[in-house]
Structure 1
Amino acid sequence: MSTVATRPTVGAVVLTMNDRPEEFPRAMASLLAQEGVDLDVVVVGNGCVPEQVAPGVRTVALAENAGIPEGRNIGAANVTGDYLFFFDNDAILPTADTLARLAAELRSDPALAYAQPRITDPDSGVTLRRWVPRLRASDPERAGIVTVMAEGVVMIRRSAFDAAGGWPGHFFLFHEGIDLAWRLWDQGGTGRYLPRIIVHHPATDPARHATFYRLGARNRVWLARRNLPRLLVPLNLATWILLTLWRTRDRAALRASLAGFGEGLRGGYGERAPMSWRTVVRLTRAGRPPVF
């Protein structure tokens, strides 16, 4: 007797601040047009009541901007599905089977905790280096296992997400994807980069203001202090500070980075839950030792 396979169930989380009146409707239209999955969508207004939301889509309005990772946590708590899809509100799913293809990868491999599509600029077709979740990012078309993620467009197994505790909400912005990926790996999971599955996203520059440098540096310190064995914390931070001094030419940016580094050292990183040495070895074998 034959059986009919059930469709993948996907909970999709989109954040908005009502500041993208053209991009947001296009993003939502491409999301709601997805086929081959049972889709549950929520739009979280980060410090606002969401506008331009299609009928039937649930919304959550936050009185204050809780930051991107906490906004996503709140969204995840308001959707159902075996898989969670986190979707930037200026991205576009160019084909109607994008979510079904990502879900199929997760369904086929129980050890796979998250699936990362290739992100490209819709006009130029360029994939920025920061969108390729590995150290050797010069070839964005090379598929494989990855140890971090581009958190703005990613599908995560719901059970793994919940077991890892979700995104680090107090990070507010930057590097929350590394934190979550490390904890997913520490549970025994893996991540996979799938360049044949494409999502469009405008190639914007996040380094626009001092907040980028300050929060980026602070969260780098928090990453190490939260997640690494004590022996590796100073090695990780020393590597980061040397790379920052080498790469940063703008004095204002360097001052902001050093201020953030000091802020991270003073505390606030939350509960410490260091990964096992087995995870350190797994990450290293996968091409990204956690000192970088």
Structure 2
Amino acid sequence: MRHPRLGVAILTMGNRPAELADLLASVAGQDTPAARVVVVGNGSPLPPLPDGVTGVELPENLGVSGGRNVALARLREFGDVDVVVDLDDDGLLVSRNVFTRLTALYAEDDRLGVVSFRIADERGRTQRRHIPRLRATDPMRGGLVTTFLGGGHGLSMRMLDQVGGWPEPFFYAHEETDLAWRALDAGWKVLYAPELVLQHPWTSPTRHAVFHRMVARNRVWLAKRHLPAPLVPVYLGVWAVLTVARTRSAAGLRAWFGGFAEGVRTPCPPRRPMRWATVWRMTRLGRPPVI
């Protein structure tokens, strides 16, 4: 891909106007400018935006997947975007060369589908859960992976045209893995590039019961949509055991198992099992689709 043009997509719920303003300033300060910047108010009005930034206000919260699909559709309408950069509204690009490095990565590899940024707090610390691979002790070890981070990443528009956008029924949780698995099955690469940093506040992954329910339900939907039939019970069994071992909250466990049951009894089409060749490819990358 020669000289890919970047389009930036940011979702906000209107509760972080100062952080959003700082993020937009860091986007504007990049050495390689974005061709387009779209901010979606996900069920909320937008604050005043800088000149050149396109705002879209949605009457209701469509979730991460739905809101990002709206931003993606708006960027497609412009017709001059090759790579979509999704950024959390409370993130910050602390280096001016993030977009320069990102465009170089896409220019070098025509089959690069997804580039995952490293998420680090203001002290430079990266939480283990923000490293998109197993053996996550070293956040600076990059390379090809099987999923990516929702807070900061690049997506090839050609890849999205082939495999489709975000899974809207998911609302939020595991939507990145759903997209990554489709990309891998279509022959695209997913790269973790730790030199591309999005600064983000240190957060807890388990904030409320809805989180547990959505994580469990979407985990089941992910398996039902994409895994070969023999792997579905293995994948879900492994994650049930891990969840029981890791979760210290009885209320959280109840919510998780309620979401798990919801995922089992409800459909989330379409079902398009990945090829066994993709299973083997993911295994060679260090994360077979059973964990």
Percent pairwise identity? 45
Q: CA RMSD in A?
A: 1.4
Check whether the contact 2:113–2:183 (CA below 8 A) recurs between aligned residues: yes
TM-score for both structures, normalised by structure 1: 0.95
**Residue 17 of structure 1 pairs with residue 13 of structure 2:** yes
**SS of the residue aligned with 1:230?**
coil
Supply the distance in 2 between the matched residues of 1:179 and 1:112 (Cα, whole angstroms). Answer: 17
**Residue 29 of structure 1 pairs with residue 30 of structure 2:** no
Q: Which runs of 5+ in 1 are unaligned?
A: none
Deviation of 1:210 (Å): 0.2
Q: Note the alpha carbon deviations across 1:47-67, whole angstroms, 9 max, x for none.
A: 022113112211111110000
Q: Report what 1:153 is aligned to.
A: 152
Q: Report what 2:213 is aligned to.
A: 214
Supply the distance in 1 between the matched residues of 2:256 and 2:34 (Cα, whole angstroms). Answer: 43
Q: Report what 1:84 is aligned to.
A: 84
Q: Report what 1:106 is aligned to.
A: 106
Q: Report what 2:140 is aligned to.
A: 141
Counterpart mapping for 1:1-292 below 5 A? 7-79=3-75, 80-122=80-122, 124-292=123-291
Q: Note the alpha carbon deviations across 1:171-200, whole angstroms, 9 max, x for none.
A: 011110111010110010111111122221
Paired letter, 2:172: L
Check whether the contact 1:30–1:94 (CA below 8 A) recurs between aligned residues: yes
Supply the distance in 2 between the matched residues of 1:164 and 1:238 (Cα, whole angstroms). Answer: 28
**SS of the residue aligned with 1:159?**
helix
Check whether the contact 2:3–2:103 (CA below 8 A) recurs between aligned residues: no
**SS of the residue aligned with 2:202?**
coil
Supply the distance in 2 between the matched residues of 1:97 and 1:68 (Cα, whole angstroms). Answer: 27
Check whether the contact 1:117–1:195 (CA below 8 A) recurs between aligned residues: yes
**SS of the residue aligned with 1:217?**
helix
Check whether the contact 1:25–1:52 (CA below 8 A) recurs between aligned residues: no
Paired letter, 1:95: S
Q: Which 10-residue stretch deviates more, 98-107 or 279-288?
A: 98-107
Supply the distance in 2 between the matched residues of 1:272 and 1:112 (Cα, whole angstroms). Answer: 25
Deviation of 1:130 (Å): 1.4
Call closer, same or farther: CA 1:99–1:182 in 2, change over 3 Å: same
Deviation of 1:169 (Å): 1.2
**SS of the residue aligned with 1:43?**
strand
Number of aligned pairs? 287
Check whether the contact 1:16–1:45 (CA below 8 A) recurs between aligned residues: yes
**SS of the residue aligned with 2:160?**
helix
Paired letter, 2:9: V
Q: Note the alpha carbon deviations across 1:224-269, whole angstroms, 9 max, x for none.
A: 0001111111111111111111111210000000000000001132
**SS of the residue aligned with 1:197?**
strand
Deviation of 1:127 (Å): 0.2
Deviation of 1:7 (Å): 4.0
**SS of the residue aligned with 1:91?**
coil
Check whether the contact 2:139–2:194 (CA below 8 A) recurs between aligned residues: yes
Deviation of 1:38 (Å): 4.2
Q: Note the alpha carbon deviations across 1:204-231, whole angstroms, 9 max, x for none.
A: 1131100110000000001000011111
Supply the distance in 2 between the matched residues of 1:8 and 1:33 (Cα, whole angstroms). Answer: 18
Paired letter, 2:40: V
Supply the distance in 2 between the matched residues of 1:73 and 1:86 (Cα, whole angstroms). Answer: 11
Supply the distance in 1 between the matched residues of 2:134 and 2:262 (Cα, whole angstroms). Answer: 26
